[in-house]
Amino acid sequence: MEAYFYHLVVLGGVYIVLTQSLDLISGHTGLMSIAHSALFGIGAYGVAIFYGQMHYPFIVAWLIGMVLAGMAGLMVGLPSLRLRGDYFVIATFALQVLCFNFMNNVSNVTGGTLGITGIPTPWFMSTTARAALVCSSLALLFSFIKWVLTRSPFGRVLNCIREDEDLVMALGRNPVGFKIAAFMISAVMAAAAGGIYAAYVSFVDPTTFTVMDSIAILCAVIIGGSGSTAGPVFGALILIGLPEILRFVGLPYSVASNVRQIIYGMLLVLILMFRPGGVVGGFSFDIREHTRL
Amino acid sequence: MLSQAVVNGLIAASTYLLVALGFSLIYTTSRFFHFAHGAVITLGAYLAYSINSQAGVPLLGAAVISVFFCGLLGVLMNHVVYNRLLRKGAGSLVLMLASFGIYLIFENVTTIIWGASTLGFSPGLPSSICKWHACITRIHILTLAIAAVSWVFLAILFARSRHGLLMRAVAESRELATAYGIKTHEIVDASFFIGSAFAGLAGILMAADVGMTPTMGLHALMMGVVVAIVGGIGSLRGLLLASLLVGLVRHLSIFVVGSQWQDSIVFALLLVVLLKSPWGFASDAAAQEV
């Protein structure tokens, strides 16, 4: 029971880092990304390949994963962030597909569909209690980083971009540069979460990083509450909690994941209709459009 | 070998064109990316399958019924979700998020009802006609013909009919159209109906060719969205050119890289187009307000 609790804490910590990273771009900057499970996957594969197979120190492999994710973010941000938000969504979908195909097809690097197994557990995660401690402190650290970022002048520009991009330009800032920087930071954070995840589960394969996972993460953040610190935490709790609840209810394994996604979808639609700020009452995208009209 | 790849490319292009026509028709009147369109594609195929195999209606009749229901489903989505959100002042971002939610619900309900494995319509492999080292089945010919007819239908609808004129007015400015006494809601509903019917049709044609899976819709939709963006959303001529480009690039790329990279090639093409010319092939001013 204790081990199970620690296991949930580890996953919770990892997912909090991931949802906070997505909220930086979606909640604070107003750009919806459906590539976050791919960016998470880049971090995971970075650790799996450079730490698990090439035996670099963990921290080096972790950083390589983050740098790669940042570069992927730049590659997609550069063409799409000059355009309206809708186009960015499609571009992130492109990133998601490109990453998934890379993980799935380049078997001599990523192990193809079989993935990479037997990633050694780093010393700081040798027991589940230790891993739980590490992950919860990382969740705290990254939540704090995001909190500081969004209250800095940089974060205020991001919020302003979400409200009115023309205004940002009128005030002499370049919104494209800020958006690209925000997406790169978000990608790096997602990869950081992915690296820890790979080290903890000691196994990666492409099926963990599909577009449906990306959409589920986005759902969770919106349901939790956008543009706040507590909202993504709540979103991560949904991502962790719902599968566990469904398991206790005793749904057969074959339909459990489908039921989970149906619930995400329904919650998302209902939240958008009846409580657009999310459960914790974060930023509501509706109000912006309303005042603009 | 080459001629077969070209034929396959043309057939793929016609299904992408059908999907893109519906998607951009809905986009032009309601101004948001309707991702649940993918769910309608899938459901079109599965409904036709069930009406055909369980209710015993001949395939053609089943297809007609299913296409009609797909149109209604689109209108229903508009009424139950999008209209309510619009009334609360939702912007395109919120509508798009809601469409993700609807898509998630539908894809997973489909999986629970019909299972995740591939299903196909009852008459097995259709007879094929071969010439110049390329083979084409009757389904393929039908797909090409339906795509061409649909394109011409929309072109005439937009250019010649009063209804098309009203649609263009709503596309131009919803507020202004309302102010002039146009029943905007009816126009948007009509575009949802026609667009979703196209989606159902595309789903049935694809399923008749290669069978159906619950995820077929998302994949087809994404190809359609790439076509819509590369062609310049709202430009019929652009959509036609872009669907040919995407279909041929996708199927000719197997000579350069393996077939497992087809999707990557298409999305790489999309990123290049976004970088170089974000409005796609469309040059008209209406399409340029990206």
When divided into structural domains, chain B yields a total of 1
Q: Which residues of B, range 45-74, sit inside 8 Å of A by Cβ?
A: none
CA A115 to CA A255: how far, in whole Å? 24
Across chain B, what does the average pLDDT equal? 84
Which of A86, A268, A269 is facing B33, going by the closest CB pair? A86
Q: Tell me the DSSP string of A194-226.
A: HHHHHHHHSEE-GGGG-HHHHHHHHHHHHHH-B
CA A203 to CA A117: how far, in whole Å? 5
**Letter string b/e over residues B80-91, b meaning 16 or more CB atoms within 10 A of that residue's CB:** ebbebbbebbbb
Report the 10 Å Cβ neighbour count for B258.
9
**Interchain CB contact of B97 with A (< 8 Å):** yes
3 state DSSP class of A133: helix
Residue A126 — very low, low, confident or very high, per pLDDT cuts 50/70/90?
Answer: confident
**Interchain CB contact of B89 with A (< 8 Å):** yes
Which of B91, B105, B264 is facing A262, going by the closest CB pair? B105
Determine whether the interchain pair B101/A272 forms a contact, defined as Cβ–Cβ distance below 8 Å. Answer: yes
Measured CA to CA in angstroms, residue B109 lies from A246, A263, B106, B200, B236 at distances of: 16, 11, 5, 17, 34
Domain spans in chain A, listed from the N-terminal domain onward: 2-117+128-207
Kindly tell me if the per-residue pLDDT of A286 is higher than 90: no
CA B13 to CA B7: how far, in whole Å? 10
For A220, the token pair is: 């969770």
Which of A101, A265, A285 is facing B101, going by the closest CB pair? A265
In a domain, B255, yes or no: yes
Determine whether the interchain pair A211/B218 forms a contact, defined as Cβ–Cβ distance below 8 Å. Answer: yes
Q: Are A112 and A100 in contact (CB under 8 A)?
A: no
**Interchain CB contact of A263 with B (< 8 Å):** no
Kindly tell me if the per-residue pLDDT of B159 is higher than 50: yes
Question: Would you put residue B127 in left (φ > 0), alpha (ψ -120 to 50) or beta?
Answer: beta
Kindly tell me if the per-residue pLDDT of A84 is higher than 80: no
Q: Which residues of A, range 51-110, sit inside 8 Å of B by Cβ?
A: 75-76, 78-80, 82-87, 89-91, 93-94, 97-98, 101-102, 104-105
3 state DSSP class of A254: helix
CA B260 to CA B270: how far, in whole Å? 18
Which residue pairs from A148-157 have beta carbons closer than 8 angstroms and sit at least 24 positions apart in sequence? A149/A24, A149/A185, A150/A24, A150/A28, A150/A227, A154/A178, A154/A181, A155/A28
Determine whether the interchain pair B108/A80 forms a contact, defined as Cβ–Cβ distance below 8 Å. Answer: no
Which residues from chain B sit within 8 angstroms of residue A36, using beta carbons?
A: none
Residue A117 is classified by DSSP as E
Kindly tell me if the per-residue pLDDT of B283 is higher than 70: no
Residue A94 Cα, gap to closest chain B Cα (Å):
5
Kindly tell me if the per-residue pLDDT of B98 is higher than 60: yes
pLDDT recorded at residue B199: 93
- Look at A101-110, B17-26, B251-260 and tell me which has the smallest mean pLDDT: B251-260
Which residues from chain B sit within 8 angstroms of residue A265, using beta carbons?
A: 100-105, 108
For B30, the token pair is: 């309601």
Which residues from chain B sit within 8 angstroms of residue A290, using beta carbons?
A: 89
Best probe of the A interface among B94, B117, B259, by most A CBs < 10 A, is: B94
Report the 10 Å Cβ neighbour count for B255.
9
Determine whether the interchain pair A265/B32 forms a contact, defined as Cβ–Cβ distance below 8 Å. Answer: no
Query: For residues B89 and A54, which has the higher predicted lDDT (pLDDT)?
Result: A54
Residue B280 — very low, low, confident or very high, per pLDDT cuts 50/70/90?
Answer: low
Best probe of the B interface among A81, A269, A287, by most B CBs < 10 A, is: A269
pLDDT in tens, B162-214: 888 888 888 777 778 888 888 888 888 888 999 999 999 999 998 888 888 98
Query: For residues A178 and A123, which has the higher predicted lDDT (pLDDT)?
Result: A178
Torsions phi, psi of B134, nearest 5?
-125, 135
CA A271 to CA B149: how far, in whole Å? 41
Closest CA to B143 of B201, B218, B225: B201
Which of A34, A84, A272 is facing B290, going by the closest CB pair? A84
In a domain, B86, yes or no: yes
CA A187 to CA A193: how far, in whole Å? 10
CA B94 to CA A160: how far, in whole Å? 18
Which runs of E-coded beta strand occur in A150-209? 203-204
Give the total residue count for chain B.
290
Kindly tell me if the per-residue pLDDT of A220 is higher than 70: yes
Report the 10 Å Cβ neighbour count for B6.
16
Measured CA to CA in angstroms, residue A156 lies from A175, A183, A186 at distances of: 12, 15, 16
Which residues from chain A sit within 8 angstroms of residue B96, using beta carbons?
A: 32, 86, 89
Residue A95 C-beta-side C-alpha neighbours within 13 Å: 32
Greatest extent of chain B over all pairs of C-alpha atoms, in Å: 59
Q: Which of A251-255, B125-129, B249-253 has the highest mean pLDDT?
A: B249-253
Q: Which of A78-87, A123-132, B8-17, B273-282 has the highest mean pLDDT?
A: B8-17
Q: Which residues of A, range 264-283, sit inside 8 Å of B by Cβ?
A: 264-269, 272-273, 276
Q: Domain range holding B170?
A: 2-282
Determine whether the interchain pair B81/A78 forms a contact, defined as Cβ–Cβ distance below 8 Å. Answer: no
Determine whether the interchain pair B112/A30 forms a contact, defined as Cβ–Cβ distance below 8 Å. Answer: no
Determine whether the interchain pair A261/B260 forms a contact, defined as Cβ–Cβ distance below 8 Å. Answer: no
pLDDT recorded at residue A169: 87
Give the total residue count for chain A.
293
In a domain, B176, yes or no: yes
In a domain, B34, yes or no: yes
| Mean pLDDT (whole number) for A118-126 | 84
In a domain, B290, yes or no: no
Residue B279 — very low, low, confident or very high, per pLDDT cuts 50/70/90?
Answer: low
Per DSSP, helices labelled H in B36-91 are 37-53, 59-77, 83-87
Residue A190 — very low, low, confident or very high, per pLDDT cuts 50/70/90?
Answer: very high
Measured CA to CA in angstroms, residue A278 lies from A132, A251, A290, B103 at distances of: 27, 27, 18, 20
In a domain, B65, yes or no: yes
For A243, the token pair is: 């599968």
Residue with tokens 């990279």: B261
Which of A79, A264, A265 is facing B271, going by the closest CB pair? A79
In a domain, B288, yes or no: no
* pTM listed for this prediction: 0.89
Measured CA to CA in angstroms, residue B275 lies from A69, A80, A186, A244 at distances of: 20, 7, 21, 43
For A266, the token pair is: 């329904």
Closest CA to B232 of B216, B250, B220, B245: B245
Which residues from chain B sit within 8 angstroms of residue A103, using beta carbons?
A: none
pLDDT in tens, A6-53: 889 999 999 999 999 999 998 888 888 999 999 999 999 999 999 988
Residue A170 C-beta-side C-alpha neighbours within 13 Å: 5
- Look at A68-77, A210-219, B154-163 and tell me which has the smallest mean pLDDT: B154-163
pLDDT recorded at residue B195: 92
Torsions phi, psi of A288, nearest 5?
-55, -50
Q: Are B198 and B17 in contact (CB under 8 A)?
A: no
Closest CA to A37 of A217, A283, A202: A217
Which of A87, A222, A262 is facing B274, going by the closest CB pair? A87
Report the 10 Å Cβ neighbour count for A141.
13
In a domain, B132, yes or no: yes
Kindly tell me if the per-residue pLDDT of B287 is higher than 70: no
Would you say the ipTM is above 0.95? no
CA B256 to CA B249: how far, in whole Å? 11
